[in-house]
């Protein structure tokens, strides 16, 4: 699921960058691409992505344990 969401996000970003770049010309496309790359590689964003992944994995484990407990209880 995480890979799917990442792929979806990257596809959306690529689509927007391509669309604006095609309308504004190659130079504007390169400028948008550079801005997106800078944003994606920002250390604060990397840290936030890592924290989000850890939190989602933690929540998934908790949900799995609760489900196993509920199913096992019947």
Q: State whether 65 and 30 are in the same domain.
A: no
**How confident is the model over 10-54, as pLDDT tens digits?**
888 888 877 776 666 778 778 888 998 999 999 999 999 999 999
Q: Count the domains in the chain.
A: 2
Domain span including residue 68: 46-74
Q: State whether 3 and 21 are in the same domain.
A: yes
Q: Which of 6, 9, 29, 27 is nearest to 17 (CA)?
A: 29
Q: State whether 7 and 35 are in the same domain.
A: yes
DSSP per-residue codes, the chain: -HHHHHHHHHHHHHHHHHHHHHHH-HHHHHHHHHHHHHHHT-HHHHHHHHHHHHHHHHHHHHHHHHHHHHHHH-
Query: Chain-centre distance of CA 70, in angstroms?
Result: 31
The residue that leads in pLDDT, 3 or 47, is: 47
Q: State whether 35 and 62 are in the same domain.
A: no
Residue 62's pLDDT band (cuts 50, 70, 90): very high
Q: State whether 7 and 26 are in the same domain.
A: yes
Residue 7's pLDDT band (cuts 50, 70, 90): confident
Q: State whether 35 and 52 are in the same domain.
A: no
Residue 58's pLDDT band (cuts 50, 70, 90): very high
């Amino acid at each position: 699921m995480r890979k799917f969401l990442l792929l979806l996000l990257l596809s959306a970003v690529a689509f927007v960058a391509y669309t604006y770049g095609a309308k504004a010309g190659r130079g504007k496309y390169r400028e948008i691409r550079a801005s997106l790359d800078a944003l994606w590689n920002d250390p604060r964003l990397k840290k936030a992505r890592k924290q989000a992944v850890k939190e989602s994995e933690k929540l998934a484990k908790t949900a799995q344990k609760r489900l196993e407990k509920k199913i096992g209880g019947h």
